[in-house]
Structure 1
Amino acid sequence: MRKILFASSEVAPLVKTGGLADVSASLPAALAENHQDVRIIMPAYRSAVSQLKKAETVAEINVNGYGEPVRILQATLPGTSVCFWLVDAPDFFDRDGGPYGNRDGDWPDNPARFTLFCRVVVAIALNQAGLHWQPDIVHCHDWQTGLIPALLSLQSQRPKTVFTIHNLAYQGIFDRQVFDRLDLPDVLWRMEGLEYWGQWSFMKGGLAYADQLTTVSPTYAQEICTPEFGYGLAGLLAWRYEQGELTGIVNGIDTEQWNPATDSAINQPYSAAKIRLKAANKSALQQDCGLPVSPKTLLIGLISRLVEQKGIDHSIAAIRTLLEEQADIQLVCLGAGQPELEFALQELRAHYPDKVALQIGYNEALAHQIEAGADAFLMPSRFEPCGLNQLYSLRYGTLPIVRKTGGLADTVIDASDENRKNHTATGFVFAGTTVSDLTATLRRVMDLYDHPRLWRRVMLTAMLQDVSWASSAAQYVNLYQKIN
C-alpha cells in the first residue's frame, strides 16, 4: 500500500468544468479499491463547500505571502469513502463564479490563488501541516498544480511526484513580474525550469520537475512530442518520453454512475442483453426536446464545450450540409463556450426547428438522457488528449463518431467492413481535418443506420467494451511502484 496525495483544481461532483473533474473523482476511488491510501486535495471553492454536509477543520497552516492562517477542511468525497481535503483561503476561493473565473473572464489573481494552493500541498507533502500523514507520492494534475513538483524538487527529503497532463493547451503562462510578486525561488527561473520563452509556465513546473509524467492516452503521449501538439514544449516532452519518463494511460469512467442498466436519469434502463429497450429513450429524448418522434430518423447527440478544439465549427457545417440535402437526421446538442459557436448553433436550430434541439449550459441529467437516447455521438475533435464522452457512448451503445486523434484513436474502432466482419467495430473514425471529411463520415453513419441488423451488431460490440478504471488504475499502481 502506498500513500498518495491527489492534487487537483476540480473534483466531481463538487466542481466541474471538464473531464479533469471526473478523473479526479473516479481514479482515486479506483486506486482505493486497489488498496492504496488515497487522499484528495482541492481548493475550498464556495460552491464546493456548500455541497458538503460535513466538513471540519483539521489543521491550520501559515503560508508565505498570505496574511492569515489557511485552514484545511476534511470531508469524504460524496459517493465514495475517500478522504477529501479542501484548502480554505477565503480571499482566494470563497467567491461566486467558477474555479478559474466568471462570465467576464479569468480571475486576474489566478497565479496567486494556485501558488497558494501549491504551497499548501507542499507543506502537507512534507508533513508540515500537523495532519500526521505524509504521502509517498504526490500525484498532480494540470497547470494549476504545476508548482508542486517544482517546489518539492528543492527539498532533500520529499515524496516522489507524478504529473498528469490532461490538456497541454492550457499551461498557466504569466510574465516575470508575476513570478517576482509571488516570491518564487529565483533558482526556478531558468530554461530548464519554469522559464518559457521569456515568461514562465505553471505547466512546465510539472513537466520539468516531476519524477514521472503521464498523460491520458498513449496516442496523445506521442502527439505532444511533436511541434504540432507540443505548444513549444515538444523538445522537453520528447526527451522525457525517450527516457521512459512520459507514459500514456487511457482514462476510465465511473461505470456505476454511467450504467444504462441502473441509470435513474434515463427513461428506460437497458443493457446489452436487453438492447431493444434503448429505443424508448430515443422517443423520450425526441419528445422532451421538442423534436418529432421518429424511430427511423438517425438521432445524433453532441455534448461538449463549444470551442474549436472540439470541432464544433466543423460539426455545424457538416450537419447543415446534410440538412440542406434533406437528410433524415436530427441533432440534440448540450454545451456552452465560445459565443460565436453558441450563436451558430442557435441559428441552425432556428432554421431547422424540427431537426435541431439545443440547450446552452450543462445539465447532468440531460447528458445521461442524450447518451441513452441518441443513436450516435458526434465528437470530431481537432485534438483530444483522452475524452470521456466517447467512453460514455460506448457504454450506452451510442456509436461514437470521432476524429483519429489522441484518446479517440485509442478507444474507438472504425466500422469498416473488415472490422465489422471480425466483430471489433465500435464506432466511426476518420483521419481527415476538413468539413468534407466529417460530412463523408456522417454519410457512412447514415448508410450503416439504414441496415438495422448491422447497426445493432456494432452497438453490442461497443457496449461490451471494458471502459472501467480497472486496467488503468492497475497501470497507475505499477507506475507508483516503479518510482517509489
Structure 2
Amino acid sequence: MSICTIFFMEERWNGCWSFISILCKLYAVDFSRRRQRKISTPRSQGSSPKGFVPRTPSGTSTQRRDQKSNGDKESQSTSSSKESEISNPKTMEAKVETSDDGTKQVGKDRKFQEEEDEFNGATKSVSLSPVRGSTQFVESGETGDDDEGAVDLNKSNRTEESDFQIGSVRREQSEGDYSENTNASSKGSHALGTPLSEILQLDTYGGYKVDELDEPQKLKENDAGDVEDERPLARELLEMTKPSDVEFTESNEIADVDSSSFLKADSVEEDEPSAVGTLETEDISLKLRLEMEANLRRQAIERLAEENLLQGIRLFCFPEVVKPDEDVEIFLNRSLSTLNNEHDLLIMGAFNDWRWRSFTTTLTETRLNGDWWSCKIHVPKEAYKIDFVFFNGKDVYDNNDNNDFSITVEGGMQILDFENFLLEEKRREQEKLAKEQAERERLAEEQRRIEAEKAALEVDRSQAKEEVAKKREVLQALMAKASKTRDITWYIEPSVFKCEEKVKLYYNKSSGPLSHAKDLWIHGGYNNWKDGLSVVEKLVKSERIDGDWWYTEVVIPDRALVLDWVFADGPPKHAIAYDNNHRQDFHAIVPKHIPEELYWVEEELQIFKALQEERRLREEAMRAKAEKAARMKAETKERTMKSFLLSQKHIVYTEPLDVQAGSSVTVYYNPANTVLNGKPEIWFRCSFNRWTHRLGPLPPQKMLPTENGTHVKATVKVPLDAHMMDFVFSEREDGGIFDNKSGMDYHIPVFGGVAKEPPMHIVHISVEMAPIAKVGGLGDVVTSLSRAVQDLNHNVDIILPKYDCLKMNQVKDFQFHKSYFWGGTEIKVWFGKVEGVSVYFLEPQNGLFWKGCVYGCNNDGERFGFFCHAALEFLLQGGFHPDIIHCHDWSSAPVAWLFKEQYTHYGLSKSRIVFTIHNLEFGADLIGKAMTYADKATTVSPTYSKEVSGNPVIAPHLYKFHGIVNGIDPDIWDPLNDKFIPISYTSENVVEGKTAAKEALQQRLGLKQADLPLVGIITRLTHQKGIHLIKHAIWRTLERNGQVVLLGSAPDPRIQNDFVNLANQLHSTYNDRARLCLTYDEPLSHLIYAGADFILVPSIFEPCGLTQLTAMRYGSIPVVRKTGGLYDTVFDVDHDKERAQQCGLEPNGFSFDGADAAGVDYALNRALSAWYDGRDWFNSLCKQVMEQDWSWNRPALDYLELYHAARKLE
C-alpha cells in the first residue's frame, strides 16, 4: 500500500520559484495474492499521439484509482486499470506497454493488497479538469478496505480499480481552416500553454491545501524494496508541475505525511535515465504548450478577420493592443484596398510620426476567410505610434486617403520623452561624428607631417651633399699646399703618425715674429679648422742647440686628414702676437689618415644629422609658439564672451553664467534700470533659438522677488536642442509695457546643446577692402568684421570693384567666375580669397574702374552708383539669397534704396539691409537716403552715435540707429609674432618685452639710452586729431624729463611745415629726448607701440579710433580725450571704475574732458607721476591692458545681434 503526498513548485510573476514539496510516503503490504492490473489509454486511429515519447518498459506496472475534481462529477474510468504496489522505498518505475491493438498501457508488475491499510486521515482526490474542450488531464484513484486502515482518495465515490487517464487532444484541420485540434496522450503531463488554474481546482490562496494526517503510516521494512518502482511516476508528476508560466492554487487537501524517506531515496539515486526522462517530459510539455498557444492565436485572428470583414474594415492588427518591444502582425484586406488588383503587396513605414526606424516589408497571403494579407513588424521600445502605407513595390499606394495609416502603441514612450530621446541620440551621433572627424583630421595631419618630413629629409640630404662638395674642394686645395716634410720653422716627430697618436711638434722661435716672445702657445685644429680651435698647448724649450727650438706634445685628432695651427705668445683671448705663416696658417698632412672617401661619406652623414636636428628644434619652437598663440586666442575669446554676458549685469544676468542645455537656469532681472521701474509685477516671457524653438514660446511666468529686494527672478528648464535663450519682460501677464532691449530682445547663448545655430549668409557691398584696396578705416572694418563673423560659423561674401590697382599678390585662388550683361555692358565676375574671405570682383567692360585709383575721379558718384546696381544684379542673376546685405558709407549707400525699390519684389525679398556710417563728413545726402531705406543702421561707436544723433540725416531714424565699436586685427598687431620688434612678448613678460623695444627705439632714433618715461604719438596731423594739444603735450612731457616720439604726416602742407619747424627746434634743444618722424613708417609704428610707455590720442572728435586699441594690445597705456570711441574704450584709472565694471572690464588708461592745455596736463601729469612713483603698479597696469580683448570678437557678437534683429522685421 502506498500514499503519495506531493509538493508542487510554482513560478511566481516575480521570477522566483516558491516550492510546494511533493512528499511521497510509501507503505508496502503483501500484494502477492492480487492479480496484476494495467491501465490503457485509447488513442485516435493512426499513428501514436504527437509528441508522446514512451519510457523503456520496466518489470512493474502502476495502477491508480479513479479520481474526480472537488465538486465535479466523477471522471470516466478507462478500460484498463492501473495498480500500484510498493516494492522498494528508493525507486519508483513507470511501465508503458502496448496492447495488441496498439494502445499504450501503463501498469505495474506489483499487486495491491485486497484490503489496503487504512489511514488515520484521508486525502481528497486531485482532478485536472478539461481545458476549453481541447486538452483533458484526469487523475483517478481507487481505494479498498484493509484491516490496518484504508486510504480514501475520494470519499464520495469509490471504485475497485484505479485509472490514470490523460485526455486526448485531437487535431483536425480542414481546407481554409486556421484552427487545429491536437490529439495527444502523455503520461503525467499536461499542455503547458493552458493556465493550470483552468486545469486544477484552485482556492483563493494560490496554493494546494495540505491536511495533516492523524497518524502517518510507516513503511514496512520487508516492503522497502518495492518502493523503487514508484519513484519515476512520482518524479514525472513533480516535473509535470514545473512550467514557468503555471501558477498553482490551493484546492485539494493532501494528507501531511512524513516524506523524508522518499526525499532521501530521491537524492541518493539521481540516475541518468531519470534525468533523460525529465528532459523528454519537458520537451513534450513545451511542444504542447506552443501548439496550444498557436491554436488560441489562430482562433483570435480568425475572429478578428471575420468581424472586420463583416464591417468592411480593411485593416486590423494582432494583438489588438500593441505594446513596445513586441511583435505585431498587420492584416490588410486586399479586396477593400486600392491595391486589389496587385499581385505584390508591401508595407512601408516608420515609427513615431515617421521619425524613427523606417522599414519596408513584403506582405504574404493568409488562409483566412477573405482576401487577407499580413506581415509581422517588431515594435521598438521607443515607439509610441506606428505609421505606414501599403504599395505594390512601384507606384501604386494605399495611404488611407493621403492620411497614412497609424497604430497607437500602448505603454510606449511619451512624445516629449521621445523628443528628448532623439536629442540624446543626436548628441551621441554628433559626438561620434566629431570623434571620427577628429581622427580623420589627425590621420590627415599625420600624413601631411610624414610627407613634409620626407620632403625635408630630401632637402637636408641635398644640402648636406652640397656642403660636403664645397668643403671637399677647399680641403683638397689646402692639402695640396700642405707640407709633408720637415721645415726650417717647424717639424713633427715622428714624421709618420696616425690619428689619436701623440706626437711632438717643434717650432723654431727665432725664425718668425715671435722671436722675442716670453711664452709660446700653439692654437690648432684640423681639416681646415673643421671644429674650430681644438688644440691649445704651451710650448717648452727644447735641448737642441742648432736653433731656438721649442716643442709641445699634441694628440692627433680623430678623423684628421690635415693639421692646422698657428703660434702665439699667449693662450686664446690673451695672445697679442702671432706667427700664422704669413696669414696662411701652418698645415701638415696626417700620413696615415683614414681613407678620404670614407671620411667624406661620414662627413656628409654628420652634416645631414646636424641639419635634421636644427630643423627639428626650429619646428618645435614654431609649433610651441603657434600652440601658445592659439591657446591665448581661445582664452581671449572666452574672456570676451564672459564680459559680453556680464556687460548687461546691471539689468539682467543668469545663474549659472554659462547656460547649459538640458539644465535649469535662473534669470535675475533688475527693473529699476529699465522702463519697468516701479511696476508691481514683472512677467518673464521666454523661448529658445531666436524664438524658433519647436516648443514655441513658454507660458508667461511671474517673476519672484529675491532677497536683496532690487531683483526679481524666474527659473527655466533649458531643452537639449537649445543654442540660444531668448526673453523679454512685461508688466502684466497679458502684455502691457515691454522691456525688449529697444527691439533687440535679450539673448543668452546656450552651451552644450545638440543643435547649432543655423548659419546666416551675409554679403558686404563695399568699395574698399584691406589690404588689397585700402584707403581708410572702412577697408579695415570690412575685412576684419567679415573674418570675425565667419569665425562664428556664418557665411560671408564681399562684392568689390575690380580696380586695375588692386594688390593682386594678396588674392588667393584668383579665377574667372562668370560674366553677365547689365547697364549696356558686359560685366566680368572674378572670384578669389582675401584673408580667408570669399570675394567677388566685378569688372564692367566700360572701363569705370580702370582709373588707377579707388577715389579721386571726377565721376566717383557715377562709378560707385553703377557698381551698387551691378552688385544687386549679380546677386539676382547668380541666384543668391543672402540674409543680410551690408553696405558702407556714402560710396555703397545706393544699395539700400535700389534694393527696396527694384529688387525686393524680384527674388531678393528674404534679404535685409544693414547700413554703416564710417564718416559723416562726406556724402551726407546719400547717407540720409540710405538711412531711410535701411532696416538697421550703425556707426563705429555708441558715443559717436549719440554725438551725431542731432544731425538732420540721422535724427528721424534713431530707433534703428546703433553704435558698435570697431576692433583691431589681432593677427596684424601681435607682439608675440611681430617681426618689427626685438623680442616677442605676451602679458606674462610684458616688462621684459617693452624694455627691449624701448632700447631698440632709442637706439634707432638716436635718443638717450636711459630709463625715462616715453610718450608716443602716432596720428595724421589734422585739426580733428587735436594738433594744438599734441604740441602742448610734447613740451609738457619734456618738462617732466620724459622722452617723446611722434610718427605722422599732414595732408595740409602748412601743417606739415609747422611740424617740420617744431622738429628742428626740438632737435637743437632736446636732441636726446625728442624725435618727430614726419612720414609714415609701418615698421617704426610697431616699434613705437611696443617701446612707448604711453600713447597720446587727444582728438577733438573721433568716431572710433584704433590707435588707443593697438596701444593696449602692445601694453602701452592710452592717454585720450573723452570723445567718440575713445570714451567707449578707455576707462580712467581714477574715475571710471564703475563704468568699466558695467562693461565687464577694468580701468585701462588716463583721460580728460576739455580741449585745452589744462585738460591735457591733467591726464598727462597723472600718467607720468604714476610711472615715476608707482612702477610696480604701472607694470601691472600694462599687463592688465594687454589681456583685454580689443579685437573683433566682441563687435562681431554685437553685429550678429543686429543682423538677427533686422531679420525679425516684417
Fold equivalence (TM over 0.5): yes
Q: Which residue of 2 aligns with 1:100?
A: 855
Q: What is the DSSP-based 3-state SS (H/G/I as helix, E as strand, rest coil) of the residue aligned with 1:62? A: strand
2:859 is the counterpart of 1:109: yes
CA contact 1:77–1:84 (8 Å) conserved in 2: yes
- 1:35 CA drift (Å): 1.4
Match of 1:238 in 2: 955
Contact 2:1089 2:1111 in 1 (8 A): yes
Q: In 1, Cα distance between the equivalents of 2:864 and 2:1033?
A: 40
Greater helix content = 1
Residue number among 1162, 1176, 1200 corresponding to 1:453 in the alignment: 1176
Change in 2 beyond 3 A, CA 1:148/1:417: closer
Report the secondary structure of 1:341's partner residue.
helix
What's the CA shift string for 1:187-218, capped at 9, x where partnerless?
xxxxxxxxxxxxxx222232221110011211
Q: 2:1082 aligns with which of 359, 364, 369?
A: 364
Distance 1:351 1:264, change over 3 A: same
Could you tell me whether the CA contact under 8 Å between 2:1095 and 2:1116 is conserved in 1?
Answer: yes
Partner residue, 2:1063: 349
Provide the residue aligned with 1:313 in structure 2. 1028
Give the structure 2 partner of residue 440 of structure 1: 1162
Render the CA deviation track for 1:194-248: whole Å, top value 9, x for unaligned: xxxxxxx22223222111001121111211113xxx3x43xxx23322x2x1111
Change (3 A) 1:13 1:295: farther
> Which of 190, 215, 239 matches 2:939?
215
843, 847, 856: which one pairs with 1:88? 843
Contact kept in structure 2, 1:11 and 1:20, CA below 8 Å: yes
Structure 1 residues 366 and 113: CA distance shift in structure 2, 3 A = farther
Q: Would you say the 8 A contact 1:415–1:458 is kept in 2?
A: no
> Structure 1 residues 84, 385: closer, same or farther in 2, change over 3 A?
same
Residue 1028 of structure 2 is aligned to residue 272 of structure 1:
no
**Counterpart of 2:973?**
258
The answer on whether the counterparts of 1:348 and 1:356 sit within 8 Å (CA) in structure 2 is: no
Task: Give 1:60 shift.
Answer: 2.5
Alignment partner of 1:62 out of 818, 821, 829: 821
CA contact (8 A) 1:124 1:134 kept: no
Aligned-residue sequence identity (percent) comes to 34
Equivalents in 2 of 1:283, 1:339: separation in Å?
A: 33
Give 3-state SS (helix, strand or coil) of 2:806's partner.
Answer: helix
C-alpha spacing 1:123/1:294, structure 2 compared with 1 (3 Å): farther
Classify 1:406/1:72 alpha carbon distance in 2 versus 1 (closer, same or farther; 3 Å).
Answer: same
Q: Shift of the alpha carbon at 1:461? A: 2.0
| Number of aligned residue pairs | 432
Query: Which letter maps to 2:1181?
Result: V
Letter of the structure 1 residue corresponding to residue 1201 of structure 2: N
Residue 49 of structure 1 and its aligned partner are, at CA, apart by 4.4
Q: 1:38 — aligned with what?
A: 796
Check if 1:476 corresponds to 2:1199. yes
1:378-393 superposed matches below 5 A: 378-393=1096-1111
- State the Cα distance separating 1:149 from its structure 2 match: 0.2
Structure 1 position 373 matched with structure 2 position 1091: yes
Partners of 1:287 and 1:336 in 2: how far apart? 26
Measured after TM superposition, the shift of residue 322 of structure 1 is 4.8
* Partners of 1:217 and 1:385 within 8 A in 2: yes
- Aligned AA for 1:59? K
Distance 1:358 1:454 in 2: 30
- Counterpart CA distance in 2 for 1:306 and 1:271 is 31
Match of 1:284 in 2: 1000
Checking the alignment, whether the CA contact within 8 Å between 1:144 and 1:203 is kept in structure 2 is: no
Could you say which residue in structure 2 is the equivalent of 1:164?
916
- Is the contact between residue 61 and residue 120 of structure 1 (CA under 8 Å) also seen in structure 2? no
SS of aligned partner of 1:476: helix
TM-aligned CA distance change 1:427 to 1:119, over 3 Å? same
| Distance apart, 1:44 and its partner CA | 2.0
| Structure with bigger gyration radius | 2
Instruction: Determine the C-alpha separation between the residues in 1 that align with 2:813 and 2:1063.
Output: 44
What SS does the aligned partner of 2:848 have? Answer: helix
Farther-moved stretch of structure 1 (445-454 vs 160-169): 445-454
C-alpha separation in 1, matches of 2:795 and 2:1135: 47
Give the root-mean-square deviation of aligned CA atoms.
Answer: 2.4
- The Cα shift of 1:75 comes to 0.7
> Offset of 1:361 from its aligned partner?
4.1
Deviation at 1:59, TM superposition (A): 2.7
**d(CA) in 2 for partners of 1:447, 1:63:** 65
Q: Distance in 1 between matches of 2:782 and 2:1082?
A: 17
* Match in the other structure for 2:900: 153
User: Are residues 72 and 293 of structure 1, via their aligned partners in 2, closer, same or farther at CA, if it must alter by over 3 Å?
Assistant: farther
* Contact 1:316–1:344, Cα closer than 8 Å, also in 2: no
Where 1:30 maps in the other structure, the secondary structure is: helix
- TM-score w.r.t. the length of structure 1 is 0.83
Alignment partners' CA distance in 2, 1:211 and 1:418 = 34
The partner residue of 1:136 within 883, 891, 896 is: 883
Deviation of the 1:9 alpha carbon: 2.1
Residue 831 of structure 2 aligns to a residue whose secondary structure is: strand
> Distance between the aligned counterparts of 2:1059 and 2:869, measured in 1?
43
Name the SS for the 1:368 alignment partner: helix
d(CA) in 2 for partners of 1:419 and 1:211?
36
- Cross-structure match for 2:929: 205
d(CA) in 2 for partners of 1:442 and 1:429? 9
Indicate if the aligned counterparts of 1:336 and 1:362 stay in contact, CA closer than 8 A.
no
Corresponding letter in the other structure for 2:945: A
Q: Which residue of 1 aligns with 2:753?
A: none
What is the 5 A alignment of 1:121-132?
A: 121-125=871-875, 127-128=876-877, 131-132=878-879
Counterpart secondary structure, 2:1014: strand
Task: Quote the offset at 1:110 in angstroms.
Answer: 1.1
Query: Which segment is superposed worse, 144-153 or 435-444?
Result: 435-444
1:332 aligned to 1046, 1054, 1061, which one? 1046
Q: What SS is found at the alignment partner of 1:161? A: strand
Determine helix, strand or coil for the equivalent of 1:260.
Answer: coil
Which residue number in structure 2 is paired with residue 396 of structure 1?
1114
Q: Say if 2:964 is the partner of 1:249.
A: yes
Tell me, in whole angstroms, the C-alpha distance in 2 between the residues paired with 1:321 and 1:258.
29
TM-score, normalised relative to structure 2:
0.34
CA distance in 1, matches of 2:1160, 2:1136: 21
Give 5+ residue unaligned stretches, structure 1: 102-106, 174-200
CA-to-partner distance for each residue in 1:456-478, whole Å, 9 max, x for gaps? 12212211212122222122122
Instruction: Output the amino acid matched with 2:829.
Output: I
Q: 1:10 to 1:356 in 2, by over 3 A?
A: farther
**8 A Cα contact 1:259 1:396, kept in partner:** yes
Residue ranges of structure 2 left out of the alignment (5+ in a row): 1-758
Alignment partners' CA distance in 1, 2:1075 and 2:844: 42
Following superposition, the deviation at residue 262 of structure 1 comes to: 2.0
Secondary structure at 1:456 match in 2: helix
Could you tell me how far 1:96 is from its partner in structure 2? 3.2
Could you list the per-position Cα deviations for residues 49-99 of structure 1 after superposition, in whole angstroms to 9, with x for gaps in the alignment?
Answer: 4333542221334343xx632322211013x2x1012222473323334x2
**1:82-138 deviation line (CA, Å, top 9, x unaligned):** 1012222473323334x213xxxxx2121112112211222134x12xx34332211
Give the letter for the 1:269 counterpart: S
Give distance in 2, aligned partners of 1:77 and 1:416: 43
